[in-house]
Protein backbone atom coordinates (compact mmCIF):
# COMPACT_ATOMS: atom_id res chain seq x y z
CA UNK A 1 0.00 0.00 0.00
CA UNK A 2 1.40 3.32 -1.08
CA UNK A 3 0.42 6.84 -0.12
CA UNK A 4 0.24 9.91 -2.29
CA UNK A 5 1.84 12.92 -0.61
CA UNK A 6 0.44 16.32 -1.57
CA UNK A 7 2.33 19.50 -0.97
CA UNK A 8 0.58 22.11 1.14
CA UNK A 9 -0.70 23.65 -2.13
CA UNK A 10 -2.38 20.34 -3.09
CA UNK A 11 -0.04 19.46 -5.89
CA UNK A 12 1.25 15.91 -5.91
CA UNK A 13 4.69 15.75 -4.37
CA UNK A 14 5.68 12.14 -3.85
CA UNK A 15 4.55 8.58 -3.42
CA UNK A 16 5.71 6.88 -0.23
CA UNK A 17 4.95 3.71 1.71
CA UNK A 18 1.98 3.96 4.04
CA UNK A 19 4.37 3.43 6.94
CA UNK A 20 6.34 6.51 5.98
CA UNK A 21 3.07 8.37 5.58
CA UNK A 22 1.91 7.32 9.05
CA UNK A 23 5.17 8.59 10.51
CA UNK A 24 4.64 11.97 8.84
CA UNK A 25 1.10 12.13 10.22
CA UNK A 26 2.14 11.07 13.72
CA UNK A 27 4.91 13.65 13.71
CA UNK A 28 2.32 16.24 12.71
CA UNK A 29 4.11 17.00 9.48
CA UNK A 30 1.08 15.96 7.45
CA UNK A 31 -2.67 15.48 7.66
CA UNK A 32 -4.66 12.57 6.26
CA UNK A 33 -6.83 13.53 3.29
CA UNK A 34 -8.05 10.06 2.30
CA UNK A 35 -7.62 6.72 4.02
CA UNK A 36 -8.39 3.10 3.36
CA UNK A 37 -10.64 2.01 6.19
CA UNK A 38 -10.98 -1.56 4.95
CA UNK A 39 -7.52 -2.73 5.93
CA UNK A 40 -6.40 -0.88 9.04
CA UNK A 41 -2.97 -1.07 10.61
CA UNK A 42 -3.02 -2.61 14.08
CA UNK A 43 -0.64 -2.36 16.97
CA UNK A 44 -1.24 -3.68 20.48
CA UNK A 45 -3.13 -0.59 21.52
CA UNK A 46 -4.07 1.35 18.41
CA UNK A 47 -5.74 0.95 15.05
CA UNK A 48 -5.04 3.30 12.16
CA UNK A 49 -6.69 3.50 8.79
CA UNK A 50 -4.00 3.27 6.14
CA UNK A 51 -3.54 6.74 4.69
CA UNK A 52 -3.87 6.76 0.91
CA UNK A 53 -3.52 10.53 0.47
CA UNK A 54 -1.85 12.93 2.90
CA UNK A 55 -1.12 16.64 2.67
CA UNK A 56 1.92 18.34 4.16
CA UNK A 57 1.24 21.03 6.72
CA UNK A 58 3.89 23.35 5.41
CA UNK A 59 4.92 24.07 1.87
CA UNK A 60 8.03 22.39 0.54
CA UNK A 61 9.88 24.27 -2.16
CA UNK A 62 12.07 22.53 -4.68
CA UNK A 63 13.59 24.93 -7.20
CA UNK A 64 13.59 24.51 -10.94
CA UNK A 65 10.36 22.70 -11.62
CA UNK A 66 6.96 23.89 -12.73
CA UNK A 67 3.94 23.60 -10.48
CA UNK A 68 1.48 21.29 -12.24
CA UNK A 69 -1.86 22.97 -12.62
CA UNK A 70 -4.81 21.26 -10.97
CA UNK A 71 -8.41 22.08 -10.24
CA UNK A 72 -7.85 21.86 -6.51
CA UNK A 73 -4.74 23.96 -6.84
CA UNK A 74 -6.56 26.77 -8.64
CA UNK A 75 -9.35 26.83 -6.06
CA UNK A 76 -6.82 26.89 -3.29
CA UNK A 77 -4.65 29.55 -4.90
CA UNK A 78 -7.69 31.79 -5.23
CA UNK A 79 -8.96 31.02 -1.73
CA UNK A 80 -12.19 29.62 -3.21
CA UNK A 81 -13.18 33.19 -4.10
CA UNK A 82 -14.69 33.82 -7.51
CA UNK A 83 -12.22 35.73 -9.69
CA UNK A 84 -15.05 37.90 -11.03
CA UNK A 85 -17.52 38.62 -8.23
CA UNK A 86 -15.64 37.47 -5.12
CA UNK A 87 -18.37 35.02 -4.16
CA UNK A 88 -17.78 31.47 -3.00
CA UNK A 89 -16.20 29.54 -5.86
CA UNK A 90 -16.70 25.85 -6.43
CA UNK A 91 -15.75 25.72 -10.10
CA UNK A 92 -12.89 26.93 -12.22
CA UNK A 93 -13.20 29.07 -15.31
CA UNK A 94 -11.05 29.26 -18.41
CA UNK A 95 -10.62 33.01 -18.77
CA UNK A 96 -10.11 32.58 -22.50
CA UNK A 97 -12.57 29.73 -23.12
CA UNK A 98 -11.18 26.40 -24.21
CA UNK A 99 -13.45 26.47 -27.23
CA UNK A 100 -11.49 29.52 -28.34
CA UNK A 101 -8.04 28.16 -27.70
CA UNK A 102 -7.73 28.91 -24.00
CA UNK A 103 -5.29 26.63 -22.25
CA UNK A 104 -5.20 24.73 -18.97
CA UNK A 105 -2.63 27.03 -17.43
CA UNK A 106 -2.38 28.82 -14.12
CA UNK A 107 -2.62 32.10 -16.01
CA UNK A 108 -5.78 31.12 -17.87
CA UNK A 109 -7.64 29.48 -14.99
CA UNK A 110 -9.42 31.21 -12.18
CA UNK A 111 -11.71 30.10 -9.37
CA UNK A 112 -15.30 30.90 -10.30
CA UNK A 113 -18.71 30.71 -8.67
CA UNK A 114 -21.36 28.67 -10.43
CA UNK A 115 -23.40 31.71 -11.33
CA UNK A 116 -20.58 33.63 -13.02
CA UNK A 117 -19.44 30.47 -14.75
CA UNK A 118 -22.90 29.86 -16.20
CA UNK A 119 -23.43 33.46 -17.22
CA UNK A 120 -19.99 33.84 -18.79
CA UNK A 121 -20.15 30.59 -20.71
CA UNK A 122 -17.96 30.82 -23.83
CA UNK A 123 -17.22 34.51 -23.62
CA UNK A 124 -14.16 36.43 -22.50
CA UNK A 125 -14.21 38.78 -19.50
CA UNK A 126 -13.85 41.73 -21.91
CA UNK A 127 -16.93 40.64 -23.82
CA UNK A 128 -18.81 40.45 -20.53
CA UNK A 129 -17.51 43.80 -19.37
CA UNK A 130 -16.00 41.99 -16.39
CA UNK A 131 -12.66 42.59 -14.72
CA UNK A 132 -10.62 40.00 -12.89
CA UNK A 133 -10.13 40.82 -9.23
CA UNK A 134 -6.56 39.47 -9.39
CA UNK A 135 -4.23 38.54 -12.20
CA UNK A 136 -3.90 34.77 -12.02
CA UNK A 137 -0.44 33.25 -12.05
CA UNK A 138 1.36 30.08 -11.07
CA UNK A 139 1.10 29.88 -7.28
CA UNK A 140 4.61 29.39 -6.05
CA UNK A 141 6.91 28.78 -8.96
CA UNK A 142 8.97 25.71 -8.28
CA UNK A 143 7.71 22.22 -7.72
CA UNK A 144 8.33 18.55 -8.25
CA UNK A 145 8.20 15.57 -10.44
CA UNK A 146 6.56 12.68 -8.74
CA UNK A 147 7.93 9.17 -8.98
CA UNK A 148 5.64 6.19 -8.66
CA UNK A 149 2.53 8.14 -9.48
CA UNK A 150 1.70 6.26 -12.67
CA UNK A 151 0.37 3.21 -10.86
CA UNK A 152 -2.02 5.14 -8.71
CA UNK A 153 -5.06 4.27 -6.65
CA UNK A 154 -8.62 5.27 -7.52
CA UNK A 155 -8.78 7.63 -4.56
CA UNK A 156 -5.80 9.54 -5.95
CA UNK A 157 -7.69 10.50 -9.08
CA UNK A 158 -9.15 13.66 -7.64
CA UNK A 159 -5.64 14.98 -7.08
CA UNK A 160 -4.11 13.81 -10.34
CA UNK A 161 -6.90 14.09 -12.87
CA UNK A 162 -6.70 16.62 -15.66
CA UNK A 163 -8.86 19.63 -15.23
CA UNK A 164 -12.50 19.36 -16.20
CA UNK A 165 -14.23 22.26 -17.88
ZN1 LIG B 1 -18.82 34.93 -9.32
d(CA 27, CA 22): 8
d(CA 122, CA 119): 9
d(CA 44, CA 59): 34
Distance 71 CA to ligand 1 centre (A): 17
pLDDT values of the chain reduced to their tens digit, one per residue, 165 residues: 889 999 898 888 888 998 999 999 999 999 999 998 888 888 888 888 889 999 999 988 766 556 678 888 899 889 999 999 999 999 999 999 999 999 999 999 999 999 999 999 999 999 999 999 989 988 753 333 465 666 677 888 777 755 544
Distance 58 CA to ligand 1 centre (A): 29
Q: 85, 110 in Cβ contact below 8 A?
A: no
Nearest to residue 13, comparing CAs of 104, 138, 147? 147
Amino acid sequence: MRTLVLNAGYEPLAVVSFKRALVLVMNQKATVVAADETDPVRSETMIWARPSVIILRSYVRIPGRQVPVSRRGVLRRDGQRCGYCGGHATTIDHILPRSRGGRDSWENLVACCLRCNNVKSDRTPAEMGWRLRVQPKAPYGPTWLVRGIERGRPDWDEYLAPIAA
